[in-house]
Amino acid sequence: MEEQRPLPVLSSEHQQEETDEMASLVYKVWNKQGTSNRSTAAFNIINSIIGSGIIGLPYALRQAGFPLGILLLLFVGYITDYSIILLIKGGNLAGTNSYQALVNKTYGYIGYLILSVLQFLYPFIAMISYNIITGDTLTKVFQRIPGVDQDNLLIGRHVIILCVTIIFTLPLSLYRNISKLGKVSFISLILTVVIVVVGIIRAITFSSQVPETENAWVFAKPNAVQAIGVMSFGDIFENFCRDDDLATFGRFCYGITVILTFPLECFVTREVIANVFFNGNLTAICHVALTVVIVAVATSISLVYDCLGIVLELNGVLSATPLVFILPAACYLKLSEERWAHPDNLLSGLILGVGMLVMIVGFVMTVLHPQECSHGKEMPYCFLGNSSLYNNTFPYSQPTRQP
The residues near 197 (Cβ < 8 Å, ≥ 6 apart) are none
- DSSP-assigned letters across all residues of 153-213: GGGSHHHHHHHHIIIIIHHHHT-S-GGGGHHHHHHHHHHHHHHHHHHHHHHHHSGGGSPPP
Judge whether 57 and 231 are in contact, CB under 8 Å. Answer: yes
C-alpha pair distances (Å), 251 with each of 128, 138, 255, 306: 18, 7, 6, 18
Judge whether 254 and 188 are in contact, CB under 8 Å. Answer: no
Residue 246 carries which side chain, given as an amino acid letter?
Answer: L
pLDDT at 19: 42
Nearest residue to 26 (alpha-carbon basis) of 99, 97, 119: 97
C-alpha pair distances (Å), 231 with each of 72, 104, 375: 10, 29, 18
Fill in the DSSP letter of residue 165. I
Measure CA 311 to chain center.
14
Residue 53 carries which side chain, given as an amino acid letter?
Answer: G
Over the chain (403 residues), what is each successive 10-residue block's mean pLDDT?
42 43 40 56 72 63 76 82 90 90 93 94 90 88 83 84 95 88 86 87 76 67 61 64 85 90 92 92 94 96 80 79 90 89 89 89 78 64 55 40 36
- Distance between terminal CA atoms of the chain? 60
- Distance (Å, whole) CA 269 – CA 279: 14
pLDDT at 118: 93
* 15-24+46-393 CATH, one of 1.20.1740, 1.10.3470, 1.10.287, 3.40.1130: 1.20.1740
Nearest residue to 51 (alpha-carbon basis) of 111, 142, 129: 129
pLDDT at 143: 86
pLDDT at 192: 86
